[in-house]
Amino acid sequence: MSSVSETGNSVNNPVIPGFHPDPSVCRVGADYYVACSSFEYFPGVPVFHSRDLVHWTQIGNALDRPSQLDLPRDSPSSGGIYAPTLRHHDGRFWLIVTNVSGDGNLLFSATDPAGPWSDPVRLPGVPGIDPDLAWDDEGNCWCTVAGVGQVRIDPHTGETFGPPRRIWSGTPGAKAPEAPHLYRIGEYWYLLIAEGGTERCHGVSIARGPSPTGPFEPCPDNPILSHRGTEHPIQNTGHGDLVQGPDGSWWMVLLGVRPRGGTPGWHVLGRETFLAPVDWVDGWPVVGELATDLPAPPWPLQPHAPVPRREDFDLGELAPRWISPRRRLPEDCTTKERPGWLTLRARGGSLDDADVTFVGRRQQHLSCRVRALADAAEGRGGLAVRLDEQHHYDLEMSSGEVRVRARIGPLSTVVASRPTPPGPVVLRIEVAAVRAVRDARTGPDTISLGIEEPDGTFVELASLDGRYLSTEVAGGFTGRVVGMYAASGSVHFDWLDYEPRDD
């Protein structure tokens, strides 16, 4: 899944680009694993594997069946699954998450991180969000949550032992102490948190104590990482997790965003997973430079097969990168009705509806081209860029016509239309990041929508400002997802091609 490229002794950050927030990492032998938040999308909690911390391949989704993740149809966008913690203990992988749209804090386990993962163990005695897991030398399992509170649990049954207690509140005056991770490193227990809110003031702070329950003393140099108040191209840095390499070096995975354009700066890909080196000085971690051009780790980079550009829908099931809002019913999304084609059957009437039939993949590059061969003879639908129900651009076919529709908050309009020839049509969306800021109001990118002639000529119907599909406009916690949808009847797709452009 990583789009990292190497130049000399450096690699590109983010290491997992696109909407992959709240990364949690663990190492087992020579293998690293990362899990990320998925919010309202199904399947939930993408899981990645790497041998070098740089090249990551998605090996599955931890929550891939309704018995694990059953989001209500009316659950809001940016609801759903928050902030996983992924750990390995006693021969098993453990994953703890919060479902803010349903069952609260849930615990899953597996012998293989690619799955299958267990059905959830519910944790009614664990309050709050962003749960963490840590085991002490006596085998006690400690669950620490945003706030920052803590309670001992039985991970097999969900039983809690005693009431939760507050163990640290972060830096005085800093809001939203969250994303706690507890580690035993040397003689101390370290408690890593995010604070300041997940926007421009986000940061990472740390405290240490003699036991998993404290008392905790804060690092005198907190925050140990923050880009608040700077012109750094990576902003909103926080929600970190530490991991030790096989050579003894330390690293942090964390989330950040890449705002573009003028003021206030718009980020459109969501919060992405970045990597930073960590040194230890006087018993405290010191985070190295977090750059878009990162020094390579001091070990050989592993051979890596990039994600295929083109999906021909020839397999019996979709690859794990394909996601849908809230649920995906087999009868509404199938590759079996027309061999070699993906057939989508409409539920909701448009992308304005929470129950729409939509299958997409995260936009992972600041500039990209997306093309799909679509047949809408039996329905209405097409290709779209989605942020949520109130913010999306659609390239929709039906009745011999293709239309560009824009939904921006309460406003919805058909921007352009033109007739289409009979038969399948290649729909095309081009996203172009801005190269220079003309004035303070310059947006982050443009999104051009149209069709492709048989000779490959792009017939543009509309070119729209990308700021309206950004977090700074729409709010929430997710990034853009580009994909296929059906708004009425059945719509068939022979292939979809996602081509990164020069970022």
Please confirm whether the linkage preceding 14 is cis (ω < 30° from 0): yes
Name the residue with tokens 């047949």.
375
The C-alpha torsion from 479 through 480 and 481 to 487, rounded to 10°, is 120
Q: How many CB atoms lie within 10 A of CB 414?
A: 12
Structure tokens given for 124: 């009614």
Is 314 one of the catalytic residues?
Answer: no
DSSP 236-247: EEEEEEEEE-TT
Distance CA 55, CA 299 (A): 13
CB contact at 8 A, 152 and 167: no
Of 199, 266, 257, 236, the closest CA to residue 437 belongs to 266
Dig out the tokens for 152 from the structure: 């001992």
**Closest residue by Cα to residue 425 from 449, 452, 393, 447:** 452
Strand, helix or coil for residue 402: strand
Neighbouring C-alpha atoms within 13 Å toward the C-beta of 29: 4
Which of 40, 132, 178, 375 is the catalytic position?
A: 178
Separation of alpha carbons 40 and 19, rounded Å: 12
DSSP label of 291: -
What is the gyration radius of the CA atoms in the chain, in angstroms? 23
Secondary structure string (H, E, C) spanning 374-409: EECCCEEEEEEEEEECCEEEEEEEECCEEEEEEEEC
Amino acid at 180: P
CA-based diameter of the chain, in Å? Answer: 73
Nearest to 389 by CA among 268, 476, 313, 322: 476
- The answer to whether residue 40 is catalytic is no
Integer CA distances (angstroms), 358 to 62, 64, 251, 312, 340, in order: 20, 16, 37, 17, 18
C-alpha–C-alpha distance, residues 230 and 351, integer Å: 37
Q: Is 331 helix (H, G, I), strand (E, B) or coil?
A: helix
How far from chain centre, in Å, is Cα 205?
A: 22
Among 22, 40, 130, 430, the one annotated catalytic: 22
Contacts of 8 (CB under 8 A, 6+ apart): none
d(CA 20, CA 36): 6
Positions marked catalytic: 22, 178
